């Protein structure tokens, strides 16, 4: 059976919960603790948003990198201040800073750009979540292909078809539900490892 993208989004959400992805508060805490791995992950996660903003407004990829670097440094330095409270999501903060910095650069270049032209891209903050979701779905689809059988079937049956461990055990020929549960755990661990390799 071929897994379709809508089915994968359901599986992806379940797998993400199982692998305990960092939430906003954990990201903020990690940034405050200067966790380089988390900083790198966040940096890569939101750069496409800045790239889109700058390139769609008469900029280059290098200019997008510069603007994003400035925004990321502002975020990082702000979080190092004990009195600073982030009152929006990290993504919104980075987008706003990138947007303001890019607008200043355009005005310095004497480019004929009004605020309205730039504001048209504000909805991209919301759209970027769907782009990130698409990327994750593609990564998950590739990881599931690499994972192979019987893991793919076990995970589909459990997360997509809401089958119980007893039903999966019977379908797959395991002696009991506990064996099926152990196999599901091993499959999730392998899927997580494959997903980690693909980042």
Taking only the tens place, the pLDDT of each residue in 55-109 is 888 889 999 999 999 999 999 899 888 888 888 888 888 988 998 888 888 888 7
DSSP assignment, residue 89? -
DSSP 3-state of 103: helix
DSSP 3-state of 9: helix
Residue 54: per-residue pLDDT: 87
Q: Are 57 and 99 in contact (CB under 8 A)?
A: no
Secondary structure in 3-state letters for 118-135 = HHCCCCHHHHHHHHHHHH
Q: Provide the residue count of the chain.
A: 199
Around 120, how many Cα atoms within 13 Å sit in the side-chain half-sphere? 9
């Amino acid at each position: 059976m071929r897994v379709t993208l809508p089915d994968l989004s359901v599986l992806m959400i379940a797998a993400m919960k199982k692998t305990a992805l960092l939430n906003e508060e954990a990201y903020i805490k990690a940034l405050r603790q200067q966790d380089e791995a988390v900083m790198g992950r966040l940096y890569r996660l939101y750069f496409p948003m800045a790239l889109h903003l700058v390139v769609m407004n008469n900029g280059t990829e290098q200019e997008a990198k510069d603007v994003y670097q400035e925004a990321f440094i502002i975020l990082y330095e702000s979080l190092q201040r004990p009195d600073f409270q982030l009152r929006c999501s990290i993504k919104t903060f980075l987008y706003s800073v990138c947007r303001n910095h890019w607008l200043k650069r355009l005005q310095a270049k004497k480019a004929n750009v009004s605020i309205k032209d730039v504001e048209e891209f504000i909805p991209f903050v919301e759209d970027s979540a769907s782009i990130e979701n698409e990327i994750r779905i593609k990564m998950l689809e590739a990881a599931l292909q690499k994972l192979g059988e019987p893991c793919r079937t076990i995970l589909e049956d459990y997360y997509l078809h809401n089958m119980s461990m007893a039903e999966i055990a019977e379908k797959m020929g395991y002696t009991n539900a506990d064996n099926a549960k152990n196999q599901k755990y091993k499959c999730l661990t392998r899927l997580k490892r494959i997903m980690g390799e693909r980042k």
